[in-house]
Amino acid sequence: MKILFPFLIFLFTPYISISQSVNPEKGVVYCDTLVPRIDISIHPDTLNWIYENVQSEIEFRAAFVFNDGNVRDSINPIGFRLRGNTSRFSQKKSFKVSFNTWTDGGNYYGIEKLNLNGEHNDPSIMRAKLMWDLLRKWGIPAPRANHVQVYINGNYYGLYINVEHIDEEFVDLRFGNKDGNLYKCLYPADLDYLGSDPDLYKLEENGRRVYELKRNEEADDYSDLANFISKLNNSNDATFNCAIDQVFNTTDYLKVIAADVLCGNWDGYIYNKNNFYLYHNEFSDRFEYLIYDVDNTFGIDWFNIDWTSRNPYHWEMDGNEKRPLYTRIMEDDILRRQYTWISQQLINQIDLDSLFQSMQARQALIAPYVVNDSYYPLDYGYTFNDFERSLTEVIGAHVKTSIFGFLTNRFNNMQNQLENTQATPLINHISYNRLDDNRLFIGAWAEAEFPFNLDAQLVIDEDISDNATMFDDGLHGDGEAGDKYYGTILENIFPETSILYQIVAVDTTDQLTVKPCDYIYVRPLSGELPLLYINEFMADNDNYIADEYGNYSDWVELYNGDTEAIFLADYYLTDKLDNPDKWQMPEIYLEPGAFILFWADDEENLGERHTNFKLSKDGEAIGIFNGLKEVVDEITFTAQTTDVSSGRETDGDPNWIFFIQATPGESNNHSNLTDFELKKDNLVYPNPVTEGKVYFKIQDNFELYDLNGKLIHTSEPVDCLDVSTLPKSLYLLKTHNFGSQLIHIIK
Domains and their CATH numbers in the chain:
12-16+424-522 (2.60.40.10), 37-417 (no CATH), 532-659 (2.60.40), 675-746 (2.60.40)
> Strand pairing partners for 614?
601
Per-residue pLDDT, 608 = 92
Q: How confident is the model at residue 283 (pLDDT cuts 50, 70, 90)?
A: confident
| CA angle 43–45–51, rounded 5-degree value | 105
Cα separation, 234 vs 228, in Å, equals 10
Secondary structure (3-state) at 228: helix
* pLDDT, mean over the chain: 89
Helix (H) or strand (E) holding 331: helix 324-331
pLDDT at 699: 65
Answer whether residue 88 shows pLDDT above 70.
yes
511 pLDDT exceeds 50? yes
The pLDDT assigned to 447 comes to 97
The pLDDT > 90 percentage for the chain reads 70
Residue 64: what pLDDT?
98
pLDDT in tens, 201-245: 999 999 999 999 999 898 899 999 999 999 999 999 999 999 999
So what's the pLDDT on residue 698? 60
Q: What share of the chain is helix, strand, coil (3-state, %, to 5)?
A: 20, 30, 50
Residue range 522-539, pLDDT digits in tens: 878 766 788 999 999 999
DSSP-based three-state secondary structure for 168: helix
How far apart CA 139 and CA 690 sit, in angstroms, is 57
Asked if 261 and 305 count as a contact pair (C-beta separation under 8 A), the reply is no
Taking residue 209's Cβ as centre, other Cβ atoms within 10 Å add up to 17
Measure CA 568 to chain center: 24
- Give the model's pLDDT for residue 6: 33
pLDDT: which is higher, 561 or 717 = 561
User: From CA 99, how far away is CA 169, in angstroms rounded?
Assistant: 13
Q: What is the mean pLDDT of residues 247-253?
A: 97
Q: Which of 192-206, 469-483, 647-661, 731-745 has the lowest mean pLDDT?
A: 731-745
Distance CA 144, CA 156 (A): 24
Q: How far apart are the C-alpha atoms of 590 and 268, rounded to whole Å?
A: 47
Question: Does residue 406 have a pLDDT over 80?
Answer: yes
Predicted pLDDT of residue 10:
37
pTM score, whole prediction: 0.78
> From its phi and psi, is residue 740 left (phi > 0), alpha (psi between -120 and 50) or beta?
left
pLDDT digits (tens, 9 = 90+) for 422-447: 999 999 999 998 888 789 999 999 99
How far apart CA 727 and CA 547 sit, in angstroms, is: 9
Does residue 721 have a pLDDT over 70? yes
Q: How sure is the predictor about 668, in pLDDT bands with cuts at 50, 70 and 90?
A: confident
DSSP 337-360: HHHHHHHHHHHHH--HHHHHHHHH
Residue of 297 and 617 predicted with greater confidence: 297
Burial class (CB in 10 A: 0-12, 13-18, 19+), 307: buried
CB-CB contact of 523 with 570 (8 Å): yes
Contacts 24+ apart (CB under 8 A), 266-270: 266/296, 266/301, 266/303, 266/305, 266/307, 266/315, 267/293, 267/294, 267/295, 267/296, 267/297, 268/292, 268/294, 269/185, 269/189, 269/190, 269/191, 269/323, 269/325, 269/326, 270/315, 270/316, 270/323, 270/326
Query: Which three-class secondary structure string do you get for 431-483?
Result: EEEECCCCEEEEEEEEECCCCEEEEEEEEECCEEEEEEECECCCCCCCCCCCC
Q: Quick: pLDDT tens for 105-118.
A: 899 999 999 999 99
666-680: average pLDDT: 49
**More reliable by pLDDT, 216 or 333:** 333
Specify the 3-state DSSP secondary structure of 650: coil
Q: Is the alpha carbon torsion for 513, 517, 519, 520 positive or negative? A: negative
Residues in the chain: 747
- Collapsing DSSP states into helix, strand and coil, what is residue 745? strand
Report the 3 state secondary structure along 92-131: CCCEEEECCCCCCCCCECCECEEEEECCCCCCCCCHHHHH
Numbers of helices and strands, H then E, in the chain: 13, 39
What are the DSSP E strand ranges found in 546-698?
554-560, 566-567, 571-574, 583-584, 589-590, 595-600, 621-626, 631-636, 645-648, 656-659, 684-685, 693-696
